Structure 1
Amino acid sequence: MATYSSILAWEIPWIEKPGRLLSIQSQKSWKRLGSRQLRLVDGGGPCTGRVEILDQGSWGTICDDGWDLEDARVVCRQLGCGEALNALQFAELGQGSGPIWLDELNCGGKESHVWRCPSQGWGRHDCGHKEDAGVVCSGFVRLAGGEGLCSGRVEVHSGEDWTPVSDGNFTLPTAQVICAELGCGKAVSVLGHMPFKESDGRVWAEEFRCEGEEPKLWSCPRVPCPGGTCHHSGVAQVVCSVYAEARLVTNGSSWCEGQVEMNISGRWIALCASHWSLANANVVCRQLGCGVAISTPRGPRFVEGGDQISTVRFHCSGAESFLWMCPVTALGGLDCSHGNTAYAICSGNQTQALPQCNDSLSEPAGSAASEESALYCSDSRQLRLVEGGSHCAGRVEIFDQGSWGTICDDGWDLDDAHVVCRQLGCGEALNATGSAHFGAGSGPIWLDDLNCTGNESHVWRCPSRGWGRHDCRHKEDAGVICSEFLALRMVSEDQQCAGWLEVFYNGTWGSVCRSPMEDITVSIICRQLGYGDSGSLNSSVALREGSRPHWVDGIQCRKTDTSLWQCPSDSWNYNSCSPKEEAYISCAGRRPKSCPTAAPCTDREKLQLRGGDSECSGRVEVWHSGSWGTVCDDSWSLAEAEVVCQQLGCGPALEAMQGAEFGPGNGSIWLDEVRCGGRESSLWDCAAEPWGQSDCKHEEDAGVRCSGARTTLAPSTAGTRTTSNPLPGIFSLPGVLCLILGSLLFLVLIILVTQLLRWRAERRALSSYEDALAEAVYEELDYLVTQKEGLLGSPDQRTDAPGEDYDDAEEVPVPGTPPASQGSEAEVPPEKEYQMRSSQTRSSLNVSREEANPGEGEERPWLLQGEKGDPEYDDVELSVQGTSTVTFW
């Protein structure tokens, strides 16, 4: 089988045509074609770059006129780089030099070599190098499903799709070739027994027989599997790392003592002693077959091979088999003084049994035997921080006698926390937390009433009540936040997947400098924040206001790095760059819909509680990729619940619920293994498995019960988090006072408005009532006047019978005059009698109008004042006392 490398592809030198062999001239042409070579350059890998062809001793390019995916497909296949993903134009990967060999290419996609495609002719063109063509190929091999690009299952491209490779007869040399081809350093682990996908049982039908020196997997010898079926128990898995090799360098005779050095990117570099711990040294000793670490003496030491010292910090528990298995932090390494390198002294006996750990040592304290036994005893225990979202923050746990246990917070202070942080290589302690701030642990409580001075090498060497002796419960578990605790966020006013990049270090949020940030660095940042797999730097935004630290510059991530913390950079510096050099990143978030409501939205709108008995309790649901999903309860504790409650404005968390306490949800399980510190401003700031990757069912949905003190404070999110306060409290005192005063003013306003409406309603009712009564008065008066005219008769009648009429009128009592039985009658002339009747009628009308509009001194409506009035009113009322009562009531 013909093989091809990324820089060399030979034309087949023989071809028979039907009925005749090629002529000598044709054979010379084939021989000349066979001397051509093809390569991709300036693309960062063997399967991406500007297309260049070697001919007549010169490397030349291809013009992009007519350049498309069919042409790119021929290039990718010829180089063994899988499928063409993109055909690049306009010298996108930089301009070449030398000749332009091809122009107006028009491949059908099936040609074996790109120079066999129809074109304008060899060397004929009308282009410049600003039109050089390039390609992006899928590659022949990839590692998928792991953390980052440099670990995972081995898959090769068949020309149509990615196919897994069997773990049967898969060797370490083959893994070395794959890691080198992908730019991932060296292979540190080859694993098998990973089941195939249930829906796809296909497997690559060849076995690779690499020797380890081949430039690409495509170049390795391969043989078909016997019978066309490869023997396997699963898919081959490979882990690559740049921290593959370690050694101890010394001038002495022992191979198990000396300066600690690592082979990083092909160079042996000494490690700095500032964060070197006995646990780290123990891993190196085990990796080299030198038993266990006895001590890590400090002091200036000779650095071989140059003055460079690596500031990479390892955070081993001491039980790992290889140094590359330990969590590592490379970002912002502290300056290391010349000669202050890490040193380790190993026991040198791999089979030596460790003595039993006894807290009451029989040897006198301070003796050589006592110190040696203490070191061995320390080595048998392990220390870690959990539930804090980082190996440098969380609940303190110690492994001993086969169980992980905790420390009680009685007497727990910064001196105790300092010992923990230093022992883990996490700098100094920023905070010593108590009351199970990072959630309640389980298992034994190993230590209580701790009283460290701050200088002890191990936390269990501090004075205490005694190993395993305590009067505590896990609600009193101790925790720490160390200076090396790191967090990442984007700050923006109105963007969801873009903003100013900030890192939390040494207890303060600060900006990140953008030089010389490359595409791989931006991609790792976007992936770490959950904003997609790619992004770009934006240099056109205006300068930010305010002052803040500019923590780190010179970040250069590699393919092997799975987070920003693993990327090498310059050392931490408060003023690493000027404000105009702050990094603003725009990520290409792969989400069909950015918000459950109208865009732009905040983190608060992407979080909800369902199934609870109040708006501040229920099953936790998060919005991602256009749909609501749930959170698995693995690692779910009060710290995560606290973040959820604060993000929703529901006050402190009361309970972290597990096992679908509020009923199982539906849809996707978006988050698993969420690990918060408890003071993050958003659940999106907490560490977790990649979105949508979980091993849970909805019977494990997480829930929370908050105190319910819901506030209307503006949410703090990736789009609005501009404060430099790293660990915000629940509420500020001014905010609470403003909320209370605002509520009281609102209540007073409601009362005043209610009283005003009642007063206006009463006025309208009274006015209507008075109008109705006045109308009734006028009608009654008209009736009375008519009746009196009937009783008194017409003027003609009064002239004819004045005495009779007068007698009728005389029967009416008049106020102010004695009744008939008590006084003498007076004779009134007819003309006087008429004038008196007219005067009485006018007086009655005047009284009615005055009483309908009572004076200011009156307190009751005029109808309720029965005995008040003038003499004229009394005349009228007395003359009609039978009818007036019926009319009014």
Structure 2
Amino acid sequence: VFADSGISAVAQLRLVNGPSRCAGRVEVLHNQQWGTVCDDNWDLTEARVVCRELGCGTALSAPRGSRFGQGTGHIWLHEVNCTGTEAALSECRARPWGEHNCNHVEDAGVVCSGKPHLFCHSGPSRCAGRVEVIHKQQWGTVCDDGWNITDAGVVCRQLGCGTALSAPGGARFGQGSGPIWLDEVNCAGTEAALSECRAKPWGDHNCHHREDASVVCSGSGISEVAQLRLVNGPSRCAGRVEVLHHQLWGTVCDDSWDLIDAGIVCKQLGCGIALSAPGAGRFGRGSDPIWLDDVQCTGTEIGLSECRARPWGNNNCHHGEDAGVICTDSGNSEVIQLRLVNSSSRCAGRVEVFHNKKWGTVCNDSWDLKDAGVVCRQLGCGTALSTPTGAHFGQGSDHIWLGNVNCTGTEAALSQCRARPWGDSNCTHEEDAGVVCSANLPEPVTSPTAVTGDRVLPKFLSYTAHEFLCPVSQLPCSTSEVAAYQRWGVSP
């Protein structure tokens, strides 16, 4: 439960010269030097903050007058005035560091109960894990009904773990085995302890351990953002989703994976909003554990670990189902430099690229399925079905940024393809290029048999891995086939 050093993860605080690490003279670290606290105005309110910060239970007393001996270094804090809700002593109001009119005869002390009433279990540190509380001398869990970031904040502050980064439910850190002590916890956020929050009576609940609540606090020494990454993509804001658990990176299964889930990833990584949520190992197969499955975010979470999902490592997937994300990225990602406009779907339309802070079009000279395929893949829209030219989706009105684009088909982004220099073209907007991607098609529909060229199309389009494939060839439908489907009323 406690760090062996006895030093808080949030602030450099310790109790010395006492009978235990939870009783003694208060010392704080500043400018890489330990110093004491003057006892002017020192009382139980300040002592409670110290005890909570060190994970030492409640404050029993706040001895003054160097009860635990006089220090010999700096006197760092004077006239400390806590409200009692602070997560660390350094957050309390006080004179500037080192400014005082005291001597070491006035060094402040604290005596804590030393018995915590709450701790985090099965997490990567004492400041992240399943929340457990003690009642009637028995540890038990908290149900995640109504559990949110405000409740988690009280837990983090009570443990001296800083602020709450996330409030995962669904037994994210494993299921407990004892009583479920608290349900429908509803904290205001100002409470000094979880037991002060409104909740059902102790032990009164309608939950099971699959709903055990958890927290991830800032004082865990790990960043919630650092526990997530996108790999094998064109930038840090596009790629296969990987999460860190038990010091091992693993993937996320694409079961139920959608734009809402992808949006949380983009937000957590500071990559803007989600453009797409590719599945089926679009960015390659991972090789380590599949940590998360059946992820279901509401869209309000601040981190992926806060979303509902199966317990860590519990899945029925393989790496061919690894989930991916493509974010807009507010920074410099290659992925944000592309969009399809002027159609009813984001996976079909006039191709526009972003350059010098302005959107512009692409000339249709040499424009073909290889080029369109790169666009569709970059946007997470499947494969290219057709390459409408001649401003099929209307004429743009700004720059024509790219001309004579010549992709090999393996590029991760259109900007990686060979082309004339940016803005160098001999085109007009009547030649603006377009794309229709496979992910733009609706669900399979019944249709009459149609003949296109030398192939007879059966009555159904098959639906495989989120892309429509023609049953005869099992390849993406040709332009003429798409035209046939359009005649049946299936409009890309």
Scaled by the length of structure 2, what TM-score is found? 0.34
| More helix, by proportion | 1
Structure of larger gyration radius? 1
| More strand, by proportion | 2
